[in-house]
Amino acid sequence: MDTILLILGVICLVAGLAGAVLPTPGPSLSFGGLLMLHFSSYAEFSTVVLVGLGLLTALMVVLDYFIPIWGAKKFGGTRYGAIGATLGLIIGFFIIPGFGIFIGAFLGALIGELIGGSTRKVAMKAAFGSFLGFLTGMVMEVLLCLIMIGYAAVELFQYFSDSNTTTY
């Protein structure tokens, strides 16, 4: 069972990092991977680390929805731009995997603002703000996932280096 938890934990950590860039719950997957490793015999994280990273993950889940909206509003956007950015991100992901999420978020916010009656200038500014908010959230998610991977790597390295040392 420990080996299964190890394999699934590592897969979730890596999938979480990918999910931080794709429109999937990246930090939640990485945190799940960290928990799997913790419940195996391969790693043991302190309560402070687990609670701290769990709270940061929960905060990131909430912020993931509000940062692009905040970016759009900060630059004069409306609800139309925020909805457009979200829809554009999802559509962009399927049309051009990888890079399409960036173009989709920007174009979606722009089209949403134009549908909402904004002028081109205001729509462009709001689309830029939404895109900037989207990128900010993505960078924060990637950093959180990398921190979790770092903790896991240290624990796994310590486990495997301790188990490979032999005494004569």
Q: What is the mean pLDDT of residues 78-97?
A: 83
Q: What is the pLDDT of residues 14-45, one digit of tens each?
A: 999 988 877 678 899 999 999 999 999 999 99
Q: Which is more confidently placed, 55 or 103?
A: 55
Q: Which two tokens stand for residue 81?
A: 């731009």
Q: What is the pLDDT of residues 103-138, one digit of tens each?
A: 888 898 899 989 988 889 888 988 888 778 878 888
Residue 59, pLDDT > 70, answer yes
Residue 167, pLDDT > 70, answer no
Q: What DSSP character marks residue 75?
A: T
Name the residue type at position 20. A
Q: Classify 6 in phi/psi space as left (phi over 0), alpha (psi -120 to 50) or beta.
A: alpha
Report d(CA 141, CA 146) in Å as an integer.
9
Helices (H), 79-119: 79-95, 100-115
Q: Which is more confidently placed, 50 or 70?
A: 50
